[in-house]
Chain A
């Protein structure tokens, strides 16, 4: 690797070095942090929010946003919990298809009716949250099929299934986004939709696909969550989840204006957030303070992005 290449790698993946630095600080502060159990638990937790981060990244590459991810995740969890007495496969399928359908509805409303994504997904977020409350009857309901928990408990070579699944998911989507025609079209539409249309790219199809994928990946997150806690309630996937997912993508240095970015960088963002979360829990910082920190972090990251955009504009 030449020094030029190394330099651009360091700049591109600066979040990775911050993750390592924070990791070192946390292992010095708490002796529980750098243990196999704790690292595995961070990564298992990350597979849930991380799946949503991939979807959100795709939508943000387009220059759009999906505020409904948390609600869609809660919907998928609820469907998985409710339908698992017909078998684990049915439960998984119900969760995934619920997510996919929700994403398709978002995509069709946004592209066919030419509505702003931020307004439509705000509406579907509230709507789907209502559906989840209706399905759970405003209670916390537990799953009836205990083998559903095998999703999180199965281990392959000592590594929990969700982690392996998540790593594969990231790899697949990174390859799709960087190497395939679809990926190139996503960045083209995000960079300049009008020009893309003139070049013959089917802009609408690209947009619908990204929103459908975002819904599907929120469905994946919901199923993974159901596999871990096997309970459902309307309180799942609130604004906290949404804040976490958006902050992760922005931490990866991905601009809300669209047209650039990579899945790996977004995942580095969520990795940092999950480690920080874990650190705050280990250091017994109150959950109220965690809310404050999360909100401030989002605003801080937004400010940094805005300053970067401005600097690029005037260079």
Chain B
């Protein structure tokens, strides 16, 4: 009887306004203290959600690609195929040269980065923001500024903030994002690439005497901490004069559509 009356009192105390506030504050405190555990718990739901929607996006993308290939695009693909073959030949030659140099100098190859796979658990692409939430955090060794790639070195973006169990990645097209890059033109133009609304990026403040052409490849320059050189960023889509000064700017189209990927790779320095 005494127990019943105690329970009734407890229920009554919870249904009052101060009781509710105490409960909400308690829940918030538990949430803050154990946020790592809750993040891991929520990721169990989030990973299949992202994977299933990415699967849909991939299928729709394939369908659209097949639908919209024009004669010009087919011709361009053929040209690219030829230049790819030439590159393979050049690469072979370079490989043997590299082997010789390695032997001559007694060079011991050291990989300077450690790849870490991560699943995407959330995204946003709104109001100029293009960010990903990944299921790896400080306890996996991730640091702010670490580069994020897909496949064999296609640059996605870099880590913007890190919590214990997950991290936020700002992708190339995010308005807040900037990465040091190099153009593969004659003069190897370097600069900062920034996000531009509409899934594009821009490389601005390029002196007018720099010769830039459409389809020039853009890669990371390696001048930024943590980000190695040679990660593929995109290719030049448009070159236009800067209306505010004696410069030109190049609109760069990213190599990848990140919505077609449900996982990424974070590159960490070996020292971490």
Binding between chains A and B: no
Chain A residues with a Cβ under 8 A of chain B: none
